[in-house]
Structure 1
Amino acid sequence: MRSMSVAERRARLGLRHRLSPRTRTDDPAAIARSLVVLHATDPATVFLSVAARSTGAVPAAVERALYDDRTLLRMLAMRRTMFVAPVELVPVLQASTANALAAKQRATYARIIERGSDITDAPAWFAAAEEAAHRALLARGGATGAQLSADEPLLRTQVDPSPGKSYSKPANVTTWILVTLGCEGRIVRGRPNGTWVSSQYRWSPVETWLPGGIEEVPAGTARAELVRRWLRAFGPAPVADLKWWTGWNAGDVRKALALLDVTEVDLGGATGVVLSDDLEPEPVPEPWAALLPALDATPMGWRERGWFLGDHGPRLFDRNGNIGPSVWWDGRIVGGWAQRKDGEIAVRVLEDVGADAEAAIEREAARLAAWYGDIRATPRFRTPLERELTS
């Protein structure tokens, strides 16, 4: 069995994730393809992930890719997580993941509606509300949730999500309806009402972004293609990492792998898989430094992170497994960073990395401060070290 060392995996990470200086690019869509998708639960993550992997890109370049050129699209997918995806990957994500997620969302919301309102046939009511919201959006061409709620009475329906509980309060169904329509691939999130750190989006019919809508792909074919792309970006890795990243059950993961030509490799005591045409080692990149944002796609690409995280996890992750801003040197995490109220990028290195590494990290911090400009952003999920640096 071929062995792949930690050093070899770190070299791949630096080159394939465009963190080595010679692989960086100012094309946001190319950066997203290198990572399969960009993590977008926190809107700032998308922009800061591009910043870390570019040389001269600015926030406006990411906005142009998202909202003008429309080479990137924001959607819910794996693990019910928000991602920004290259548009050519959207049919794959829709068929492999989002369609099943839409069905699950619809069933969940229907149960809440039946429990917390006088609506007796919640599935039928929910379907009618979806159609009404879609008609209202088609009439406007683009709108916020509040605008659609004003147009369509069904969207103003109030539901008690936790009947009988002292903490429960009536909830408006507008967001539930729009999120489900988004999961179904019928509507998309467009430009936010604010800066690039805002999460209040305008919605648009999918056809205004993707003429003809989202192409239909067989689910099994789509899952295999998504796994192929993940292995190219994140392999070699244990199958458990792949299962965690996709959020699929073990059967779907096995079926997807069976459609691909993969090879098992030894990862130093654990068994990993890699595409069979991807067994050759990458050239070792020059030492590199990077400041990655909270929830960046690189550290969130694997479940088992010991080979690049070391023992820094308790300082850099919250209790739910969300990583905060991290400092990298030559393929491993060596510290964390935070943006303070005055715009300063505060860095803390948690181990001895040497003078050259510290100088490179300082240069990255200065570059990141310039990217932020006047924008101030606090990560949505705060971690111990990030809180320490901003206290």
Structure 2
Amino acid sequence: MGAQGRHIGVAERRARLALRHRLAGAAGAAGPEEVAGSLVALHGTDPATVYLSVGARLTDSRRTVGEVERALYEDRTLVRMHGMRHTVFVFPAGLAAVVHASTGLAVAEKARAALVADVVTGSGGRLTEEWLAEVEASALAALARRGEATVNELVRDEPRLRERFTYGAGRSYESPQTVSSRLMRVLGVEGRVVRGRPLGAWTSSQFRWAVAAPHSGPAPSEARAELMRCWLRACGPASEADLKWWTGWKVTDVRRALAAAGAVAVSLDGGLTGYVADGDEGPVAGPGEPWAALLPGLDPTAMGWQERDWFLAPELRPALFDRSGNVGPTVWWNGRVVGGWAQRADGEVVWRVLDAAGLGREGHDAVAAQADRLSAWLGATRVTPRFRTPLERELAAG
């Protein structure tokens, strides 16, 4: 990684964000593949986030729903799968094997061991590891025959998926679970099944499942280096703490990946050390014109770094984040978060500025235009974030 290089201040970090995250007007993307490629990953825990994140960055947001559905379910150029921090993301298809090798394999090994232990222990030994393997093989065969299926459809083909066991017996979090729900999640983490079209509208979280196409990926160390290169090109400079948080890797894996990727150290405000991709040390000019954006809850820009003071004032966090650290819908002006937004029951998109410094009439009008743009393409669709935050709840209630 070499010695610490030049200084990259807040203004340049915001310029990089504006351009590389496709948020400034001239940097808008033509399609969802460009958006996902620029951001590396779109948060997929809340299905609506994928569409809203893409729509905020397309030059023609009216095409958002159709284009995202095409990429996810027809062309398969985007893939919804488990990735960093045990979280569901949408990745460019070409990056799926890299993500799985760098992150998914380790997560899958732990998830598989936990599934077996929980099923056996939680059933009092009634359900065994051999029994689970037999049910799993039967369920996968049924899924292959159907092509795509919901869990309820698979249960009709393999009734043993209905079996229940007790998770966390005797603990405060004790709860009954079905074999089907845990098994499908583990198969997804292992990359053996993928989520298909949802039931109902694009905001639905009830997905069909399909058998995943077999693929071979690079060695985990090579995959971590490649994922690091991709992420630094999108989000650099970033600190070691940012990288550890975003990847969910051990700090030793982060450091090895930084070295293998040839990352270059730079200085950041506050005395921090950051890293950029090799060849990306040069200065980056701003977009040339002010910009505004309304980004959804869990948007990858707002969630991209652990250390966010350079674009989000600490005093705004209680209103814009839930207790688990999930960000809600945010209003942006020239590279910083200035407030939040929500959609009311009648469909109106409403917003509030929490930090008006530097906003002025120009900023107010630009944010209002983005709200009108969002309202126009949402139309009759109503979107409620999966993880609700204090300001979003207040605005939505009217």
Indicate conservation of the 8 Å contact 1:325/1:336, yes or no: yes
TM-score, scaled to structure 1: 0.95
Distance 1:166 1:361 in 2: 45
Task: Mark the runs of 5 or more structure 1 residues left unpaired by the alignment.
Answer: 208-212
Q: Which residue of 2 aligns with 1:7?
A: 11
Contact 1:25–1:53 (8 Å) recurs in 2:
yes
Counterpart CA distance in 2 for 1:69 and 1:338 is 32
Any idea what SS the aligned residue of 2:261 has? coil
Give 2:202's aligned residue.
Answer: 196
Do the aligned partners of 1:185 and 1:214 also contact (CA within 8 Å) in 2? no
User: Bigger CA drift: 240-249 or 252-261?
Assistant: 252-261
The counterpart of 1:23, out of the listed 9, 23, 27, is 27
Instruction: Assess if the C-alpha contact under 8 Å between 1:91 and 1:215 holds in 2.
Output: yes
- Taking the aligned partners of 1:277 and 1:263, their CA distance within structure 2 comes to 8
SS state at 1:107 partner: helix
TM-aligned CA deviation for residue 32 of structure 1: 0.3
The residue number in structure 2 matching 1:210 is none
Q: In the alignment, does 2:266 pair up with 1:260?
A: no
Structure 1 counterpart of 2:68, which letter?
V
Paired amino acid for 2:230: R
Matched residue SS, 1:29: helix
Write the distance in 1 (CA, Å) between the matches of 2:250 and 2:131.
30
- Residue 279 of structure 2 corresponds to which residue in structure 1? 277
Superposition pairs of residues 45-124 of structure 1, within 5 angstroms = 45-56=49-60, 57-119=63-125, 122-124=128-130
* Counterpart residue number, 1:147: 153
The 5 A counterparts of 1:284-295 are 284-285=286-287, 286-295=289-298
Following superposition, the deviation at residue 115 of structure 1 comes to 2.4
User: How far is the alpha carbon of 1:169 from its aligned partner?
Assistant: 4.8
Question: Which runs of structure 2 are paired with 1:362-381 in the superposition (5 Å)?
Answer: 362-381=368-387
Check whether the contact 1:133–1:178 (CA below 8 A) recurs between aligned residues. Answer: no
Query: For residues 239-291 of structure 1, what are the alpha-carbon distances to aligned partners after superposition, in whole Å with 9 as ceiling and x for unaligned?
Result: 11001000011111112112121221110211111123001111211110000
CA shift, 1:122, in A, is 4.2
Of 123, 147, 165, the match for 1:159: 165
- Equivalent residues of 1:107, 1:123 under 8 A apart: no
The question of whether the paired residues in 1 share the 8 Å contact of 2:119 and 2:127 is answered with: no
Cα distance between partner residues in 1 of 2:280 and 2:31:
25
Displacement, 1:164? 4.4
Shift of 1:5: 0.5
CA change 1:167–1:262 in 2 (3 A) is closer
Structure 2, unpaired ranges of 5+: none
Matched with 2:308 is: 305
Question: In structure 2, which of residues 344, 347, 362 is the aligned counterpart of residue 340 of structure 1?
Answer: 344
| Partner amino acid, structure 2, of 1:347 | W
Deviations 1:78-118 (A, max 9, x none): 00111001100000011111121111111122222122103
Q: Secondary structure at the match of 1:300?
A: coil
Distance in structure 2 (CA, Å) of the matches to 1:166 and 1:364: 45
- Alignment partners' CA distance in 2, 1:62 and 1:368: 16
Aligned to 2:299: 296
Q: 1:350 aligns with which of 349, 354, 359?
A: 354
Give SS of 2:238's match: coil
CA shift, 1:351, in A, is 2.3
User: Are the structure 2 counterparts of residues 163 and 380 from structure 1 closer, same or farther at C-alpha, using a change threshold of 3 Å?
Assistant: same
Secondary structure at the aligned position of 1:307 is classed as coil
Counterparts of 1:114 and 1:3 in 2: how far apart (Å)? 55
RMSD: 1.5
For 2:275, give the aligned amino acid: V
1:305-357 CA deviation, whole Å, 9 max, x = no partner?
A: 00000131111011111000000000000000001000000100112210000
Q: Which amino acid counterpart does residue 374 of structure 1 have in structure 2?
A: A
The code of the aligned residue for 1:271 comes to T
AA of the residue aligned to 2:52:
L
Higher mean Cα deviation, 192-201 or 176-185? Answer: 176-185
Give, in whole Å, the separation in 1 of the partners of 2:172 and 2:392.
34
Where does residue 178 of structure 1 map in the other structure? Answer: 184
TM-score when normalising by structure 2: 0.94
Question: How far apart, CA to CA, are the structure 1 residues paired with 2:242 and 2:12?
Answer: 18
1:245–1:287 distance in 2 versus 1, CA, 3 Å: same
Between the aligned partners of 2:215 and 2:293, the Cα distance in structure 1 is 35
Q: What is the Cα deviation at residue 170 of structure 1?
A: 3.0
The residue type paired with residue 93 of structure 1 is V
CA separation in 2, counterparts of 1:170 and 1:314?
34
Q: What letter matches 2:237 in structure 1? A: P
Amino acid at match of 1:291: L
> How many residues of Structure 1 are paired with residues of Structure 2 in the alignment?
386
- SS across alignment from 1:306: coil
